[in-house]
Every structure is written in C-alpha cells, then in structure tokens.
Amino acid sequence: MRKLLFLVLILPLCSAMADTAAEIDAGVERALDRLYNTNAGTRAIVESAVGALVFPDVKKGGLGVGGQYGEGSLLEDGQTVGYYSVAAGSLGLQIGFQRRSEIYLFMNYEALDAFKANDGWEVGLDGSVAIIDMGGGKSLDPKTIKDPIVGFILSNKGFMANLTVEGTKISKIER
C-alpha cells in the first residue's frame, strides 16, 4: 500500500519540484543559517557531526491521504558529496499543508557509512533518528548527544499536526 501511495502521490510531484544543484546548495546554506540562528548550540553540533543531510524545502500535504517531497544534499567537511530526495506517503486522519526544512546529522562514521551504502534509505527501518527539541530556549551541547543520527525540523509554515519522520524514504539523485 505504501508503494502505491508513493507512486500516486509523490512521483508526479518529483519532476515538478526538481531543483538544480546550485538551487539545492543555496537552499542548504539558508537552512543551516536558520538552524544556527535558532539556537547557539546547533553550530557546534553540526561541526561535530561527520556528515549532514540537509533538505531545505520539504513540502508536505494531506487530506486523508498525504505525501511529502523535497531535495537536498549530503555534506561532509562542509562540502557537498551527493544529492538526495526525501519522500513519504501516508494514509489516515490528516489535513493541511506545510513547508519545512529537515536536517539529519550523522554523529559517527558507522551511521554515515551505513546511510551511504543503502540505495533508498528509510528512516525508522534502516536507521533511527532522534529528533532534537529546541523549544523553550534549551541549551544544546554536542557532548550530550549519544544518538548516532540526530535530526532537526525547522521553519514549519502552514498547518499540519504530524511532525514525525518515520517511514520517510531518502534516495540518491543526480544533479
């Protein structure tokens, strides 16, 4: 059923929302700047990560049946090493539309290598992501992070009740 939802909802959006490498790179820089401006500790966390997968503009919508899609890049040592898409389909009680940025940080080489070895990595199945809560002015310190993959969800605009990333499929794309 999930694959059918993906084909019906997400694939038609993919070509309409395809960005160039330069557009993706510019969006990644803007998303990281927003992250750094959200909480002072985030820069140190990103710098301590061995890799950062950044999706600057993920569009998510649903009315009973939902889907999301966005494109981004994988950074190692601050340099782009590949381009990826993020997609998901869902079925259930949902209504709304939102745009957000998703940032996944690989805190060790084992997690990063496992991600790069998979053709079509699925959050929750191929790797668990700990979403970091930055609410209430919490201080963040890279020394306190124990999870191999951590994530940030930024700039929610629009209305949608669901903030999970489980079941999200990430695939390598050519740019």
pLDDT for 31-64, tens place per residue?
999 999 988 889 999 999 999 999 999 998 877 7
Q: Structurally, how many domains does the chain consist of?
A: 1
Q: How confident is the model at residue 128 (pLDDT cuts 50, 70, 90)?
A: low
Nearest-angstrom CA–CA distance, 86 and 54: 10
Global pTM?
0.80
Tokens of 141: 């310190």
Site of tokens 């080489």 = 109
Count of residues for the chain? 175
Count CB-CB contacts under 10 A for residue 64.
10
Range of the domain at 10: 2-173
Q: Which residue has the higher pLDDT, 145 or 80?
A: 80
Identify the three-state secondary structure at position 154.
strand
